[in-house]
Structure 1
Amino acid sequence: MTAEVPAVVPGLFITLEGGDGCGKTTQSELLTDWLEQRGRTVLRTREPGGTDVGVAIREIVLHHRGEIPPRAEALLYAADRAQHIATAVRPALARGDVVIQDRYLDSSVAYQGAGRVLDATEVRDLSLWAAEGLLPALTILLDLDESVARGRLDAANKRFDRLEAEKNDFHRRVREAFLALAAGEPERFLVVDAALPVAEIAAVIRDRVAALLERRHP
């Protein structure tokens, strides 16, 4: 198994996780704005799709109309991750930037591991190998009941991708997996109730990030 290593100093690697419809995009935008107002350089990115190669992989894994076996899906996500970390995230961290990323390896463990019922340890090891062991300094888990999340997606009246279109039982397993991951690594995770008002969630996240930045750069 690839050794797990912290994010490169002096940069700061922050990921946002949670089920579809939990509000990751909104919170990543708010956190980016807050950090930039304080003079930090921020790379805001996502998986899959944070690079040109990733855009092509994203189209396959989320919008391909034919069957993609679970193992093939996991390997596609790992390929995107290897490209993204090597060419976008690590260079930004080496410059001292803050990287705010929508989804990372915890999503693979939750969606392909629990959702697709693959071996979670194997999925995690594959992701760590692809990323050369890189783990975030902080992972923000926006936790939301899967039925509430589905209601948000329905209200948005958007076209569902392959994962969003899965049934509630799939999304229940995904949520349970995220919570189990957070329980197993409480120092890395911040779990926030995504049913709270947007401003309250943003305040909780800012407090944790401010404390983290203070410890790293007092």
Structure 2
Amino acid sequence: MSLAKGLFVTFEGGEGAGKSTQLRLLADSLRSLGHEVLTTREPGGSVGAEAVRHVLLSGAAEAFGVRMEAILFAAARSDHVEEVIRPALSRGTIVLCDRFMDSSRVYQGITGNLEPAFVETLERVAINGVVPDRTVIFDLPATIGLDRAQRRAGDDSPDRFEKEELETHEKRREAFLDIAKADPNRCRIVDATQSAEAIAAEILGLLENLLANAEMSEPTSTGSAP
């Protein structure tokens, strides 16, 4: 079942918060209700963006500085939006995305120490009007998240961001909470220390009104601002 208007939901938070698991569980629940669902991720999600993902997470761009990384993230996001997200929303699909613009605000803006005007300009160009209808922010102490991420990775080396200092990860946690407080219409905070089942039920409940509204709305060619 396609909605009259697509619905764009993003999952945000620190490392090991459980975003990927919950995105999969939500997609399964929505499909069981008859909805058309697309799951995607950032960096990545489109052919061009997936190529950039490898460069970013491998650390190959780190030597060129956080400004260059931010530009690469924006380029990947622009391709993702125009090639995947916007077309899906125009078809009335529910798009679930693991990370989006708030991750750039936090990782490159807050802990990357980039000036706000630069980050805001990159964001505006990259998203080109496609704003999430709902952003779920997974709140978890950095120590727990990093431990989960390390156990998940096993013998694999931590990626470009997982390897950073605990203090940096905790600063990101606070930054995500600040974003949620500043934009309460779009963002909802979920306690990620709960069981997977409890979190999944809470997230589904956070979408009930949005789903009802989307079913009644007129079709649109872009994502909608909250």
TM-score normalised according to structure 1 size = 0.92
Gapped runs of 5+ residues in structure 2?
Answer: 217-226
Structure 1 unaligned regions, length at least 5? 1-7
By how many angstroms is 1:9 displaced? 6.2
Which residue identity does 2:91 align to in structure 1? Answer: R
Match of 2:121 in 1: 125
SS of structure 1 residue aligned to 2:64: coil
Q: CA deviation at 1:159?
A: 2.4
| Worse overlay, 105-114 or 153-162 | 153-162
1:215 — aligned with what? 213
Task: Give a deviation string over 1:3-34, Cα, whole Å, max 9, x none.
Answer: xxxxx961000000000100000000000000
Q: Tell me by how many angstroms 1:96 deviates.
A: 0.3
The equivalent residue for 1:183 is: 181
Residue 28 (structure 2) aligned to one of 13, 19, 33: 33
Question: Quick one: distance in 2 between partners of 1:70 and 1:81?
Answer: 16
Following TM superposition, by how much is the alpha carbon of 1:117 offset from its aligned partner in structure 2, in angstroms?
Answer: 1.3
Conserved? CA contact 1:22–1:149, under 8 Å: yes
- Give 3-state SS (helix, strand or coil) of 1:140's partner: strand
Which of the residues 75, 95, 104 maps onto 1:79?
75
CA apart distance, 1:215: 2.7
Residue 107 of structure 2 is aligned to residue 111 of structure 1: yes
The Cα of 1:212 is off from its aligned counterpart by 1.4
2:57 and 2:136 map into 1 onto residues whose CA distance is 23
Aligned counterparts, 1:13-92, within 5 A? 13-65=8-60, 67-92=63-88
Tell me the alpha carbon deviations over residues 102-159 of structure 1, each in whole angstroms, 9 at most, x when there is no partner: 0000000000011211123431331121111221000000111111111112222242
Aligned to 1:160, which of 153, 158, 161?
158
Q: Deviations over 1:58-115 (max 9, x none)?
A: 0111103461301000000000010000010000000000000000000000000112
RMSD of Structure 2 on Structure 1 (CA):
1.5
Aligned amino acid, residue 84 of structure 2: A
C-alpha distance in 1, partners of 2:95/2:168?
Answer: 29
C-alpha distance in 2, partners of 1:120/1:145?
26
Deviation at 1:208, TM superposition (A): 1.0
Q: d(CA) in 1 for partners of 2:113 and 2:174?
A: 13
**Structure 1 residues 172 and 131, CA gap change in structure 2 (3 angstroms):** same
Divergent runs of 4+, >6 A: none
Q: Distance in 2 between the 1:216 and 1:56 partners?
A: 33
1:169 aligns with 2:164: no
CA distance in 1 between partners of 2:121 and 2:191 (Å):
28
Q: How far apart are the structure 2 equivalents of 1:147 and 1:141? A: 17
Residue identity over aligned pairs, in percent, reads 39
User: Does the 8 Å CA contact 1:108/1:124 hold for their aligned counterparts?
Assistant: no
- TM-score (structure 2 length as normaliser): 0.89
Partner SS for 1:217 = helix
Conserved 8 A contact 1:53-1:83: yes
Quick check: 178-187 or 58-67, which moved more?
A: 58-67
Q: Matches of 1:124 and 1:36 in 2, distance apart? A: 35
